[in-house]
Amino acid sequence: MASDESSSCCTKGYKHSGTPSSEIVTFEDVDIYVAKPTAEAPTRAVIYLSDIFGMPFLNHKIIPDNFAKQGYLAILPNLVGDDPVPFPITPEYDFPSWIAVHNIEYTEPIIEKAFEYTKKAFPSVTQFFSVGYCFGGKYVVRLLDEGKLDGGFIAHPSYVTDPELRAIKGPLSIAAAETDYLLTEEERHLTEKVLKEIGATYLLTLSSVEHGFAVRGDPSDPVTMWAHEAAFYQAVQWFNRFSK
C-alpha cells in the first residue's frame, strides 16, 4: 500500500465558517457544485474530489470557491450521492459498510460524469487538473494513470495502492501530515521510493499536523490553519506550473 485504508481519523475534523458563493447543477443524475472564475471562457478546470463527507459538507464548497478566485473553474461532483457520511459522525455509524459500498465501481462513473459535464458546459477548457482529499486522493492517482490530467494534487490520501501509484503518467503533488494512521511515515517513505523509481515528476511536503488538515483542520489551531492554507496554495502553484 502506498497509503492505508480509511480508519477513524478519516471521520474526524472541524466544520469551517463561510458562505458558499457558487451554484449546484444536476448533470444527468449527478449533482455538481460549479465555482466559476471571472473569465467568461475559462481554459483550466480543477476536478475537486472530496473526502467521505462529500458535497453536503460546507468545507467542500468553500475550497472550490477559492480555486475559482485563483482563476480556475472548480468542479465538485457529489462523490457520495445520497449517502454522505454524517458530520459529525456518531459512534454507532457503520463506516466499514459505507466504504464497502462506495468503491471504485460506485465512484468512478460519478467522476466521469463530472468530466463530461465540464466538456459540454465549458468547451473553452483545454486543461484539466484535479485535487483529492483523503478518500478522493485515490481517484486523482487513478486519473493520472488514465492520462486525463495535466497535473494532480492530493492531501492525506487513503486507499492508494502501490500499483496505482506506479502507473501514474502525470505530475503529482502530495501534502502529507506528520501524524497520519493512513499515510504513515513508513508508507510515506515507500511512496517517495516508488515515485523516484518510476521517474515521476512530483512534490511531497510534510507538515507537523494531523490527517485531515487540508480540508477539515481545527480552525482554532494556528499551526493547522497555516498548513491548511499552505496546502491550498501548494495545489494552486502546482497547477500554475503546468498551465499552458
- Active site members: 134, 180, 211
Position 156, amino acid = H
What string of DSSP letters covers 183-198?
A: S-HHHHHHHHHHHHHT
What string of DSSP letters covers 12-78?
A: ---PPP----SEEEEETTEEEEEE--S-SS--EEEEEE--TT-TTSTHHHHHHHHHHHTT-EEEEE-
Q: Yes or no: say if 160 and 76 are a contact pair by the CB < 8 Å rule.
A: no
Tally helices (H) and strands (E) across the chain. 8, 8
Residue 111 grid coordinates: 467522476
Q: Yes or no: say if 176 and 188 are a contact pair by the CB < 8 Å rule.
A: yes
